[in-house]
Amino acid sequence: MVETPDGTRLICHPRGKKSQALVGDRVQWQASEDEGTIERVLPRKNLFYRQDEIRTKSFAANLDQVLILIAAEPEFSETQLTRALIAAGAERITPVIALNKSDLAVPFERASKRLEPYRRMGYRVLPMSLRADGGAGHGELTELLAGKVTLVLGPSGAGKSTLINLLVPGASALTGEISQALNSGKHTTTSTTWYWVDAERSTALIDSPGFQEFGLHHIEPMQLAHLMPDIAQEATACKFYNCSHLHEPGCGVIAQVESATQAGTISASRYRIYGELFAELSQTRY
């Protein structure tokens, strides 16, 4: 589906057997009688994607930011959050963490505490209570999105559909129309969709399918520390330039990991996630 400068949307077929175009791409296209042909995908400023052992899954291109929506309940996975933040960092895309369901006092306080290391690292964490009538944090979120292209990412149950329907009235109907036009029969949550939030078409939301796994096989193991701000900050003090931060003597990172007997700048859970990811990414190279 291609949108022209005047806002008209039409179906365009790729030139060749396989489509290289993604949601958010700028393309050169040529009109035919009732549809069109994509002649060329213009160079991208970034591409947000995940990659496992079998395949690469691209979400969208040319983003200004990624809104990672998690909730107090069901309990979010810190590993999945970290993976999404790393993928955004690798493409120099600004990530924002939105924590939904602030109305659930006890679980929200627990979840908010788990996000404290991320606040210390400089990530923006937005408390929210998404409801059909708006809810807490709605105004701040609207300001944050204004004039930008934002990919909304998050596990099922976090409130992604509520968020999209709140900001884009008629989103479900629009998605249905697009699916019907493409004759895809896809359910709303299985396809990535671009929505304009405002009549001026200056603010865009991209709704992506929920994910269970988020592979980072496109990241080199030794690149990992640079994409985790808390690890990167302490890595400058390492004795060896090629330190893996796992066992070397004189490692600045290991010296700063919190434990029962030691205060530190790196939480134990973050260091555990780093070790697991390093092992996973190292295995894929052999």
Domain carrying residue 34: 2-41
Sign of CA dihedral 81, 127, 75, 211: negative
Tell me the CATH number at 113. Answer: 3.40.50.300
Residue 134: beta bridge partners?
A: 131
Q: Which residues belong to the annotated binding site?
A: 100-103, 154-162, 238, 243, 245, 251
In a shared domain, residues 29 and 108:
no
Kindly state whether residue 169 falls inside one of the protein's structural domains: yes
- The last residue of a domain, from among 181, 207, 233: 207
Q: What share of the chain is helix, strand, coil (3-state, %, to 5)?
A: 30, 25, 45
In a shared domain, residues 52 and 156:
yes
Distance, CA of 281 to CA of 286 (rounded, Å): 10
Please name which of 148, 153, 100, 151 lies closest in space to residue 128, comparing C-alpha atoms: 100
pLDDT digits (tens, 9 = 90+) for 149-183: 999 998 888 888 888 888 887 776 455 555 555 55
Q: How many Å is the maximal CA-CA distance in the chain?
A: 73
In a shared domain, residues 36 and 145:
no
Residue matched to tokens 């029962």: 260
In a shared domain, residues 157 and 108:
yes
- The last residue of a domain, from among 207, 237, 261: 207
Cis bond before residue 74 (omega within 30° of 0): yes
Q: Which long-range contacts (CB under 8 A, 24 or more apart) does 276-284 make?
A: 276/79, 277/82, 277/83, 277/86, 277/216, 277/224, 278/221, 278/224, 278/244, 278/245, 278/246, 280/216, 281/216, 281/217, 281/219, 281/220, 281/221, 281/224, 282/221, 284/53, 284/217
In a shared domain, residues 21 and 102:
no
Q: Which residues belong to the annotated binding site for GTP?
A: 100-103, 154-162
Distance, CA of 141 to CA of 167 (rounded, Å): 10
In a shared domain, residues 95 and 194:
yes
* pLDDT tens, N- to C-terminus, the chain (286 residues): 999 999 999 999 888 777 789 999 999 999 887 789 999 999 999 999 998 877 888 999 999 999 999 999 989 999 999 999 999 999 999 999 999 999 999 999 999 999 999 999 999 999 999 876 666 667 889 999 999 999 999 888 888 888 888 888 777 645 555 555 555 444 444 578 899 999 999 999 999 876 667 889 999 999 999 999 999 999 999 999 999 999 999 999 999 999 888 889 999 999 999 999 999 999 855 4
- The last residue of a domain, from among 182, 207, 232: 207
Q: Give the mean pLDDT of the chain.
A: 88
Q: How many CB atoms lie within 10 A of CB 221?
A: 16
DSSP, collapsed to helix, strand or coil, labels residue 111 as helix
Q: Which residues belong to the annotated binding site for Zn(2+)?
A: 238, 243, 245, 251
Number of domains in the chain: 3
User: For residues 13-35, b (16+ Cβ closer than 10 Å) or e, as one string?
Assistant: eeeeeeeebbbbbebebeeeeee
Residue 50 carries which DSSP code? Answer: E
In a shared domain, residues 54 and 173:
yes
Residue 206: beta bridge partners?
A: 151, 194
Tell me the CATH number at 265. Answer: 1.10.40.50
